[in-house]
Amino acid sequence: MRAMILEAPDNPLRSVEVPVPEPGPEQVLLRVHTCAVCRTDLHVVDGELPDPKLPLIPGHQIVGSVVRSGDLVDRFAAGDRLGVPWLGFTDNTCRYCLTGRENLCDHARFTGYQIDGGFAEYAVADHRFCFPLPEGYPDLQAAPLLCAGLIGYRSLRMTSDAERLGLYGFGAAAHIIAQVARHQGRKVFAFTSPGDTEAQQFALKLGAAWAGDSTQPPPEELDAAIIFAPVGTLVPAALRAVAKGGVVVCAGIHMSDIPSFPYEILWGERAVRSVANLTRRDGEEFLALAPRVPVHTEVVPFPLEKANEALKALRAGEIQGAAVLVVDRHLTPV
């Protein structure tokens, strides 16, 4: 099969022919239809996350259909369309798993990082971590729901019932979460890189009450902020923007260093927290909610062989919505 592989961090992905993987007893073999590209893929490729499997097939927002299954798979049949998210394995025995926090599992393994992902014509995945996908979403539009949507949704939950919500970085996750937040009756304030008027227009089109530069204060106090951009200087900026009792949620897996800041901007019971990974419950909740909003995902398609161009465009902030690799056009038969 054709696959885009990372041989060493900081190198472009290489297009290679590799054998189609064999599903283990708990795994399904999927024909990959589409795979969305996430900022976490960039962090892996750029060597900002430690110890990836090498060589690695990146990609953790896979839409595919079941070709065949291992002996212990009882949930899905050949032909079923599934989504494969970032969380690819948990031990089910550690203190985190036993208390409903499998996103923090001591032995978790992640798709497109420690497990080969979806930048390939076929992928294997543990069926216990796959999701059935809502029917109204074509393959291209469904893919970004699987990380931008899921982890964005978990981040939104961490803001509880905050009414005035700031979103820092208006990329794949924010464009989905803005729609969910509006659906829930919240008021959205979108912050972008200074001068990115295109992203600001996009945010306003999706129902944001205000959109502006991240260096600016919002026109009114916020009750919570979610930082999607991997930029540590946004943490004190967001703390300054939130009201007493407000929370600043850092939603990314990697961020540049956070500069020191005066205690007074944290005072007043403001909080800073991160969001790590997802639980399967997050996935089930969000995939049931998305069609009810309904969330529309804006996508920029790239053919599989152009994965490097997709990563480059994402790095440069040129993608409006989510970049998605289209995989199943010239498929090697198995």
Q: Does 40 bind Zn ion (CB under 5 A)?
A: yes
**Are 323 and 310 contacting, i.e. CB atoms less than 8 angstroms apart?**
yes
CB of 3 to Zn ion, least distance (A): 19
DSSP secondary structure, 32-73, as one string: EEEEE--HHHHHHHTT-SS---SSB-----EEEEEEEE-TT-
CB nearer Zn ion, residue 189 or residue 286: 286
Among 16, 18, 70, 91, binds Zn ion (CB under 5 A): 91
Among 45, 56, 82, 97, binds Zn ion (CB under 5 A): 97
CB of 284 to Zn ion, least distance (A): 18
Q: Which two tokens stand for residue 223?
A: 């009750």
Q: Does 49 bind Zn ion (CB under 5 A)?
A: no
CB of 107 to Zn ion, least distance (A): 6
CB nearer Zn ion, residue 211 or residue 325: 325
Q: Does 176 bind Zn ion (CB under 5 A)?
A: no
Look-up: residue for tokens 């969380």? Answer: 87
**Are 103 and 45 contacting, i.e. CB atoms less than 8 angstroms apart?**
no
Q: Which two tokens stand for residue 134?
A: 């809502």
CB of 114 to Zn ion, least distance (A): 14
Quickly count: other Cβ atoms within 10 Å of residue 135's Cβ: 9
Among 18, 49, 94, 300, binds Zn ion (CB under 5 A): 94
Give the helix, strand, coil percentages of the chain, each rounded to 5: 25, 25, 45
CB nearer Zn ion, residue 40 or residue 141: 40
Q: Which of 45, 191, 34, 230 is nearest to 119 (CA)?
A: 34
Contacts of 236 by beta carbon, 8 Å cutoff, 6+ apart: 258, 259, 261, 265
Q: Does 105 bind Zn ion (CB under 5 A)?
A: yes
CB nearer Zn ion, residue 49 or residue 94: 94
Instruction: Give the type of residue at 67.
Output: V
Stretch that binds Zn ion, among 72-80, 103-111, 200-208, 278-286 (CB under 5 A): 103-111
**Are 315 and 291 contacting, i.e. CB atoms less than 8 angstroms apart?**
no
Among 5, 125, 147, 290, binds Zn ion (CB under 5 A): 147
Among 29, 38, 120, 130, binds Zn ion (CB under 5 A): 38
CB of 85 to Zn ion, least distance (A): 8
Q: Does 297 bind Zn ion (CB under 5 A)?
A: no
CB of 309 to Zn ion, least distance (A): 19
The burial class, CB within 10 Å (0-12 / 13-18 / 19+), for 65 is middle
CB of 97 to Zn ion, least distance (A): 3
CB of 250 to Zn ion, least distance (A): 14
CA–CA separation, 163 and 280 (whole Å):
26
Q: Which SS3 state, helix, strand or coil, does residue 31 take?
A: strand
Which spans of this chain sit near Zn ion (rule: CB under 5 A)?
A: 38, 40, 90-91, 94, 97, 105, 147
